[in-house]
Amino acid sequence: MAAPEKHYVDVAGRKTQVTTAGDGPPLVYLHSALGEADWLPSFDVLAEHFTVHIPAHPGFADSEGLDEIRDIEDLAFHYDDLFAELHVERPHLVGQSLGGWIAAEYAVRWTEKVGKIVLIDAAGLRVEGAPVPDMWMTRPPELAELMFASKDHPLYQMMKAFQPDSPPPAEILVAFYGAQQATARVGWDPYLHNPKLERRLHRISRPTLVLWGEADRFVPVAHGERYAELIPGARLERVPDAGHLPVIERPDEVAKRVAAFLTP
Amino acid sequence: MNFFFFHLMPYPHLPDDFEKRYDSAWIDAPNTLFDPEKGHDLYNTYLDDLVFAEEVGFDGVCVNEHHQNAYGLMPSPNLFAAALARQTKRVKIAVIGNALPLYDPPTRVAEEYAIIDCISGGRLIAGMVVGGGPEYFSFSLNPTFAREKFNEALELVVKAWTTPGPFEFHGNHYRLRYVNPWPRPIQQPHPPIWIPGVGSLETMELVARNRWAYMGIPYFHLSVFERNFEFFRQACEKEGYTASPEQMGWLVPIYVGETDEQARKEFEPHVWYFARKLLKGINASPPGYTSVRSVVKIVESIDKFMLWCDTWQQIEEGSYVICGSPETVREKLEDHIERLGVGNVLGLFRLGSLPTESTRRSMTLFADEVMPKLRARFG
């Protein structure tokens, strides 16, 4: 596999960072609020079968244009423009958390323009009795507990060590704050969901896999069950030893399952 | 030189172990801790404080807006300003301010300010604020639109005062087909506008461009104020004029006692009540509330914030509060006013759980023994 290439695409005037590798039909990975827009070694498996694109959402990494993103629908349109710009046709959409929400918003609008869909611990719904804790009211150490299954992940440990009076170095802070801001833009209110999404899910007519970290205490698996119930033909699979971010916590396992689902 | 008496209307009856049991005095501090019977007494006493400020000779009184917290019990400062417009005869009434994005449509602010200005006979100072970080949690209001909404709302309010109505306003956040507020303010073209800031350049440039007044938000080390007022003066120079002292206000807790020793003894417990209980959580900075660039700047001065002070020595060294005998307070203020170049001192006299008697005595000593000397010195 050739080394992943980071390049920039002009999307209706918005400079957008995209990392691309592999060969074959297009697969677009939509990242979570964490902003994991760099190449993950575990994606090598996917790059054997697909041309994998990892765009950074506006406001994340080097992607610009958050000013024009006013709500989640604008992100769906942003991706429709990006796909046209990249000349990708019927891409498979794989999205984690915020990225899963975007994938769902895209698919309810343009289901015929999508290959298959993988929603991983996707935000986007409000499920009575299964609230999503307020990520902006919860301090990083407690958030770490909600998000991770494993206590030895470096990110878990970094979040656990956070102290309000001794913040991380400016570089990390800027990336973190930028990601938070871009997430808040679409997810502050209504909180990490679109009240209209649920009743639109029936419009998705493409094969859909719903993957959920078994130990996700942030977006509870009840949300995965709701997605699987409302998207015609969708299947729910639980990922063991994973919390809210299986792509971060169990990358090999996720890549294996995604590859199995996408390659018939 | 103008001296204002600034009231926060703090809740002084929090349990002793409050800071151990709760993360914050803001947003989600349970409102069952507020005792309405005590509230009756508090509100009346606090309004009396403000009237008393006029009696002893302050030039103005200030109220402000905060929601869902124990730090300041004035979710609607205009209610208090309206009462004061009736109960006082001479002082300026500065509302610092109305948090514009929390009013929808913000023409409400143009209306209520005009009422206060009419009742008071033109004594209103119209403060306009973005609202504190915690307010964006309390209102579930998207903080990434805070600045945009504030700027648009401010434009709308000023336009409502200066453009004969009715007219149409078409913005990104506010679209009004008939802007035509009755009444109009007595001060023409509009009451003086004051805008507070923590140091964001955008705010300073806005204030400088319009020749309004800039207030430094308190609880920072004196060096932070020095830097910010210097930036503000530079912003005015860029607009082609020299900032006048009247365009700058410094908000600072003040306590005057008989002697330095006595003053500290009387004041210190209430300073800690304020810093440890009431300030806790005020630093909540929701995402997008300030630009990424400003956040880095604010984080750099985080150790210069009162919340992180552990000792009285730190409090004194940074002039987080000015406390002492009349002579000491005069000396310190003279030095600081000179250094900051401000023409308005906004004193917080009722800090934390400070009792009424101490508050009034300190105000009287300040008015009798400090203000005249500072006036003689600075005009």
User: What pLDDT is recorded for position B93?
Assistant: 98
User: What pLDDT is recorded for position B266?
Assistant: 98
**pLDDT (tens digit per residue) in B72-93:** 999 999 999 999 999 999 999 9
- A183/B137 touch (CB, cutoff 8 Å), yes or no: no
Reading the block at residue B60, the tokens are 């103005």
**pLDDT (tens digit per residue) in B38-58:** 999 999 999 999 999 999 999
Q: In B, residues 26-45, which contact A (CB 8 Å cutoff)?
A: 27-28
HSE-up (13 A, CA, CB side) for residue B326 = 15
Reading the block at residue B320, the tokens are 């987080």
User: What pLDDT is recorded for position A156?
Assistant: 94
User: What pLDDT is recorded for position A264?
Assistant: 75
A173 at B interface, C-beta within 8 A: yes
Reading the block at residue B312, the tokens are 């009285």
CA distance B368 to B326: 9
Residue of B nearest to A71 (CA): B142
Q: Report the relative pairing of strands A117-120 and B60-63 from DSSP bridges.
A: unpaired
CA distance B370 to B5: 14
**pLDDT (tens digit per residue) in B139-148:** 999 999 999 9
User: What pLDDT is recorded for position B70?
Assistant: 98
Mean pLDDT of chain B: 96
Question: A52 by DSSP, 3-state: which?
Answer: strand
A178 at B interface, C-beta within 8 A: yes
Q: How confident is the model at residue B19 (pLDDT cuts 50, 70, 90)?
A: very high
The residues pairing with A5 across neighbouring beta strands, listed in sequence order, are A20
| Number of A–B residue contacts, CB under 8 Å | 52
* Residue A1 clears pLDDT 80, i.e. is over it: no
Tell which wins on pLDDT, B298 or B223.
Answer: B223
CA distance A186 to A193: 9
* Residue B298 clears pLDDT 80, i.e. is over it: no
Cβ-Cβ contacts under 8 Å, B152 against chain A: none
B217 at A interface, C-beta within 8 A: no
User: What pLDDT is recorded for position A232?
Assistant: 98
CA distance B279 to B220: 12
Peptide bond connecting A25 to the previous residue in cis, omega within 30 degrees of 0: no
* A72-86 vs A170-187: helix crossing angle, rounded to 10: 110
A189 at B interface, C-beta within 8 A: yes
User: What pLDDT is recorded for position B201?
Assistant: 84
* B326-340 vs B371-378: helix crossing angle, rounded to 10: 30
Q: How confident is the model at residue A176 (pLDDT cuts 50, 70, 90)?
A: confident
CA distance B133 to A242: 33
User: What pLDDT is recorded for position B82?
Assistant: 98
Angle formed at CA A103 by CA A102 and CA A106, multiple of 5 degrees = 85
HSE-up (13 A, CA, CB side) for residue B103 = 27
Confirm if B251 and B162 have CB atoms less than 8 A apart: no
User: What pLDDT is recorded for position B282?
Assistant: 87
Cβ-Cβ contacts under 8 Å, B141 against chain A: 189
Q: Which range is least confidently modeled, A181-195, A197-211, B270-284?
A: B270-284
Q: How confident is the model at residue A133 (pLDDT cuts 50, 70, 90)?
A: very high
* Residue A167 clears pLDDT 90, i.e. is over it: no
Identify which of B27, B143, B296 has the shortest CB distance to residue A188.
B143
Question: B293 by DSSP, 3-state: which?
Answer: helix
- B296/A173 touch (CB, cutoff 8 Å), yes or no: yes
Mean pLDDT along residues B5-13: 98
User: What pLDDT is recorded for position B202?
Assistant: 85
CB-CB neighbours of A128 under 10 Å: 6
- A184/B299 touch (CB, cutoff 8 Å), yes or no: no
Amino acid letter, residue B198:
V
Angle formed at CA B324 by CA B321 and CA B328, multiple of 5 degrees = 105
User: What pLDDT is recorded for position B217?
Assistant: 86
Q: How confident is the model at residue B338 (pLDDT cuts 50, 70, 90)?
A: very high
* Residue B239 clears pLDDT 80, i.e. is over it: yes
User: What pLDDT is recorded for position B139?
Assistant: 96
> Token pair 């453009």 is at which residue?
B163
* Residue B346 clears pLDDT 90, i.e. is over it: yes
* Å between A155 CA and nearest CA of chain B: 20
Kindly list the distances between the CA atom of residue B42 and the CA atoms of A57, A84, B45, B85, B241, in Å, as whole numbers in the listed order: 50, 63, 5, 19, 44
Q: Which long-range contacts (CB under 8 A, 24 or more apart) does B166-172 make?
A: B172/B148
User: What pLDDT is recorded for position B138?
Assistant: 96
Cβ-Cβ contacts under 8 Å, A137 against chain B: 27-28, 137
Q: What is the per-residue DSSP string for A242-261?
A: --S-HHHHSHHHHHHHHHHH
CA distance A254 to B1: 68
Identify which of A66, A174, A184 has the shortest CB distance to residue B142.
A184
- B286/A136 touch (CB, cutoff 8 Å), yes or no: yes
Task: Kindly state the percentage of chain A with pLDDT values over 70.
Answer: 100
* B222-238 vs B201-210: helix crossing angle, rounded to 10: 50
User: What pLDDT is recorded for position B295?
Assistant: 74
Q: How confident is the model at residue A231 (pLDDT cuts 50, 70, 90)?
A: very high
User: What pLDDT is recorded for position B294?
Assistant: 74
* Residue A166 clears pLDDT 80, i.e. is over it: no
Confirm if B5 and B61 have CB atoms less than 8 A apart: yes
Mean pLDDT along residues B340-352: 97
B137 at A interface, C-beta within 8 A: yes
Residues 6+ apart with CB under 8 A from A204: A104, A107, A108, A111, A117, A231, A232, A234
Q: Which range is least confidently modeled, A91-100, B174-183, B273-282?
A: B273-282
CA distance B290 to A177: 10
Q: Report the relative pairing of strands A51-55 and A14-22 from DSSP bridges.
A: antiparallel
Q: How confident is the model at residue A173 (pLDDT cuts 50, 70, 90)?
A: confident
Tell which wins on pLDDT, B379 or B178.
Answer: B178
Kindly list the distances between the CA atom of residue A216 and the CA atoms of A136, A147, A240, B102, B320, in Å, as whole numbers in the listed order: 17, 6, 10, 35, 44
Confirm if A126 and A199 have CB atoms less than 8 A apart: no
A172 at B interface, C-beta within 8 A: no
Burial code (b: 16+ CB inside 10 Å, e: under 16) for B86-109 equals eebeebbbbbbbbbbbbbebbbbb
* Residue B62 clears pLDDT 80, i.e. is over it: yes
Q: What is the per-residue DSSP string for B80-142?
A: HHHHHHHH-SSSEEEEEEEEGGGSSSTHHHHHHHHHHHHHHTS-EEEEEE---HHHHHHTT--
**pLDDT (tens digit per residue) in A52-104:** 999 999 999 999 999 999 999 999 999 999 999 999 999 999 999 999 999 99
Kindly list the distances between the CA atom of residue A155 and the CA atoms of A162, A240, A244, in Å, as whole numbers in the listed order: 11, 18, 13
Mean pLDDT along residues B257-284: 95
Task: Kindly state the percentage of chain B with pLDDT values over 70.
Answer: 100
* Å between A178 CA and nearest CA of chain B: 6
- B288/A173 touch (CB, cutoff 8 Å), yes or no: no
Mean pLDDT along residues B207-232: 94
**pLDDT (tens digit per residue) in B152-168:** 999 999 999 999 999 99
* Residue A162 clears pLDDT 90, i.e. is over it: no
Name the DSSP class of B258.
Answer: S
User: What pLDDT is recorded for position A240?
Assistant: 97
